[in-house]
Amino acid sequence: MRIHNYRLTFLTPAFLGNAQQQGQWRTPPIKALLRQYWRMAVADRLKFDVAALRTEEAKLFGAAADNDGDFGRSRVRLRLSHWGEGKLTAWPGMTQTRHPEVPRPVGSDLYMGFGPLVFNRGSALKQPPAIAAGEQATLSLAHAEDKQSKTEIATALYLMHLYGTLGGRSRNGWGSFFLQAEEGTAPPTGKVPTRAWSEALQMDWPHAIGQDGKGALIWQTQAFDDWPALMTELAKLKIALRTQFKFTTGKDAPHPEKRHWLSYPVTNHSVKAWGGNARLPNSLRFKVRPAPNDSCKLVGVIFHMPCLPPAAFQPNSDLQAITAVWQDVHHFLDDQATLTRILA
């Protein structure tokens, strides 16, 4: 196995919890993210066959439950240059944002990071420290060198670089990072898998970025000087996107309303048939990147990885409504003067 080295740099704070839920550099979440984007890289070749995908994943990444010793060993190994605790011990705070359904402005950071962040006379870390923006480590990766594995792992790394985030509330852009190849290692490259979003919506696992008649469902913000300003902008966009769908019911609604299909649960707006413990992650994700034309600035990227909600939500009986909701979301993002569609 040849070792490939990449500099991993965080662009926004990461809530990458250890056993005490304190921020610490660790390899397991990074390997889990690599596996996630590897699935995306190979999905089309395997014709989206979940059984075939699981078999190949076990051969490459290992499968502890298998009795065959060779089959159970991982052919992908990761190492970090350090496992240090994060350096962010006190939360810096962010600008407050108006929420049309709340009488007072809300903290943009608390809205985007509730859980790892709590309210304590202002936004605060629940379990300090967190990993700070700007912290770095070298990620060393050794893997099988056959041509197919090399190509698909390179694609997975490329997708991590473009779209990957780590830690708590990472779908909102926390834990955004970028990868930079170190000397002797080639930069990760690959093709971004896209699929007609209505087709992707037929499957219950994220396997491609959606695409419509205008291209990939990827939007980019304007450039900002720092992450607090950018995360405030993303909070404003998310609030406006969600509150365009008005609730007509409160707790224990007899039927799901439009906003329920974005993500669930929703505070004070449960669905009786779903209860309070069902979980529907948002398939619209946020990422922070260095600005394309000025690496000292940052841009936000919003991308849609459509997939069918889990069977517990009985989505097939409401597929037309789900499709209409996401069409409205795409139109909303297209209509924002501050957003631009990008290719990848």
Task: Output the pTM of the full model.
Answer: 0.95
Calculate what percentage of the chain has a pLDDT beyond 90.
Answer: 89
Residue ranges of domains in the chain: 2-89+128-191, 196-341
Q: Find residue 130's DSSP bridge partners.
A: 88
Indicate if the pLDDT at residue 282 is higher than 60: yes
Average pLDDT over residues 124-147: 95
Alpha-carbon distances, residue 41 vs 53, 159, 208, 209, 214 (angstroms): 11, 8, 8, 11, 23
Verify cis geometry, omega within 30 degrees of 0, for the bond prior to 306: no
Looking at residue 253, the DSSP 8-state letter turns out to be: B
Read off the DSSP letter of residue 23: B
Instruction: Tell me: pLDDT of 187 over 80.
Output: yes
Pick the CATH number of 2-89+128-191 from 3.30.70, 3.90.1690, 3.40.50, 2.60.40: 3.30.70
Tokens representing 64 are 């502890």
Question: Predicted confidence band at 86 (pLDDT cuts at 50, 70, 90)?
Answer: very high
Arithmetic mean of pLDDT, 194-204: 97
pLDDT at 73 over 90: no
* 19 phi, psi to nearest 5 deg: -65, -25
Exposure class string for 95-106: b at 16+ Cβ within 10 A, else e: ebbebeeeeeeb
Instruction: Assess contact for 87 and 93: CB atoms under 8 A.
Output: no
How does the average pLDDT of the chain come out, rounded? 95
> At 64, which amino acid appears?
A
Are the CB atoms for 114 and 7 separated by under 8 Å? Answer: no
Q: Tell me the per-residue pLDDT of 202-230, one tens digit each, with 9 for 90 and over.
A: 999 999 999 999 999 999 999 999 999 99
For residue range 299-312, list pLDDT tens digits in order: 999 999 999 999 99
Opening angle at CA 22, ends 20 and 26, nearest 5:
95
Q: Which band of pLDDT confidence, cut at 50, 70 and 90, is reported for residue 39? A: very high
Q: Taking 70 as the threshold, does the pLDDT of residue 113 lie above it?
A: yes
Tell me what the mean pLDDT of segment 76-91 comes to: 97
Is residue 63 scored above 90 in pLDDT?
no
pLDDT at 65 over 80: no
Residue range 16-29: mean pLDDT, rounded: 93
Q: How far apart, in whole angstroms, are the C-alpha atoms of residue 267 and residue 329? A: 20
Give the highest mean pLDDT range of 110-114, 147-151, 156-160: 156-160
Measure Cα distances from 191 to 44, 246, 294 in Å. 12, 38, 24
Contact predicate 20/86, CB 8 Å:
no
Per-residue pLDDT tens for 225-248? 999 999 999 999 999 999 999 999
Mean pLDDT of 40-46: 98
**pLDDT given at position 116:** 94
